[in-house]
Amino acid sequence: VLMSEPIRVLVTGAAGQIAYSLLFSIAKGDVFGKDQPIILLLLDITPMLPVLDGVVMELQDCALPLLREIVPTDKEEVAFKDLDAAILVGSMPRKEGMERKDLLKANVAIFKSQGAALEKYAKKTVKVLVVGNPANTNCLIAAKSAPSIPKENFSCLTRLDHNRARSQVAMRCGVPATHVRNVIIWGNHSSTQYPDVHHCLVQMSGSELACFDAVKDDAWLKGDFIATVQQRGAAVIKARKLSSAMSAAKAICDHMRDIWSGTPEGEFTSMGVYSTGNSYGVPDDLIYSFPVQIKDKSWKIVEGLAINDFSRSKMDATAAELLEERDTAVAFLGV
């Protein structure tokens, strides 16, 4: 069999806990395809290089057929060179007593620098997925710092929230998660996100029902369901004493695989993408999570869905949060 040329895939925060779950799936072909050879570029900060060496040893010990080369580094000019895909997981974590503004400032510095490195070293067709929080705003800063790469090639992860919503509905109905389609996550990846099931369909007892008809509990869908999805990250931290990693890695794989290979016919997914101000009354120049469909490595926002007053107010609230964060972050860009 003639194999294609290897693609170059960067994961940052490569010594961290999400990467530990993620790298194996990428390297074995779950994301870019079972016959696509891969060169993995692994970036972390200098003090983490010894840990990163351990991760590299383990990847080598997996003896994977598609993994052609592994490049661990703390240098952006090495990590971002000729990239086909970049998964930006590493960011500044909140430390004890750190002010929100200082945390945002530190992340603007990181994503400004990594955006500039994408601009300088990566392929112009690179697909960039931002995971490190605050994911939406970090993604916007990276995109602004790489002006010659189309803004459409930047997205941030809300697929974990999407998967959480799908699974909550599925468990409630007693069906597999794959029998639930077209949930939507709107807005920021935070507790103000709006998990919307007004267009969601559930396959149950031989037919496909609107979510509200399948669940038959409007109070739950408009109350505890939304709160559960919004607070899920915090609930995992409380239980595990660590943030979501296995499920985050799975969501990253789902997101990047859909960019690479498209979404299934008739299904949409949720992604934080660049808003031009032309969809659903969301202000322009924000990275906001929308329902999208993907074909030929291009996404399109699913247009024309009916939005009721309940949804409208929740979509506006999460947009307002992002606007405020953007303006603070952009002010830091200049300094």
Ligand X SMILES: *[C@@H]1O[C@H](CO)[C@@H](O)[C@H](O)[C@H]1NC(C)=O
- Name the residue among 225, 42, 270, 228 with its Cα closest to residue 135: 270
CB-based contacts of 26, cutoff 8 Å, min separation 6: 9, 11, 32, 38, 40, 253
Which position among 120, 124, 216, 222 is part of the footprint of ligand X (CB under 6 A)? 124
Binder of residue 43, out of ligand X, ligand NAD, none (CB less than 5 to 8 A by kind): ligand NAD
For residue 293, list its beta bridge partners.
300
Pick one of ligand NAD, ligand X, none as the site partner of residue 18 (Cβ within 5 to 8 A by kind): ligand NAD
| Residue 48 contacts which entry, ligand NAD, ligand X, none (Cβ below 5-8 A, type-dependent) | ligand NAD
Could you give the maximum distance between any two Cα atoms of the chain, in Å?
59
Question: Does residue 220 contact residue 210 with C-beta atoms inside 8 Å?
Answer: no
Which phi and psi (to 5°) does residue 217 adopt? -155, 80
Q: Is 74 exposed, middle or buried (0-12, 13-18, 19+ CB in 10 A)?
A: middle
Structure tokens at 92: 């500044």
189 is a catalytic site residue: yes
13 is in an annotated binding site: no
State which of positions 151-170 bind ligand X (CB under 6 A).
152-153
Dihedral sign of CA atoms 309, 311, 312, 316 in order: positive
Return the number of the residue (173 or 186) whose C-beta is nearest ligand NAD: 186
Was 232 annotated as part of a binding site? no
Token pair, residue 101, equals 């503004």
Give me the catalytic one of 162, 189, 199, 255.
189
Q: How far apart are CA 331 and CA 333, in angstroms?
A: 5
201 binds, among ligand X, ligand NAD, none (CB under 5 to 8 A by kind): none
Residue 287 pairs in a beta bridge with 274
Nearer to ligand X, 11 or 122 (CB): 122
40 sits near ligand X (criterion: CB under 6 A): no
Contact call for residue 298 and ligand X (CB under 6 A): yes
Q: How far is the CB of 27 from ligand X (least distance, A)?
A: 22
Candidate segments 24-32, 114-122, 217-225, 291-299, binder of ligand X by CB under 6 A? 291-299
| Contacted by 258, from ligand X, ligand NAD, none: CB < 5 to 8 Å by type | none
Which residues, at least 6 apart from 216, have a Cβ–Cβ distance to it below 8 Å? none
Of 123 and 172, nearer to ligand X (C-beta) is 123
Q: Which is nearer to ligand NAD, 189 or 326 (CB)?
A: 189
Window 258-277: residues binding ligand X (CB under 6 A): 259
Is 299 near ligand X (CB under 6 A)? yes
Binding positions for ligand X, rule: CB under 6 A: 124-125, 127, 133-136, 150, 152-153, 188-190, 259, 297-299, 321, 324-325
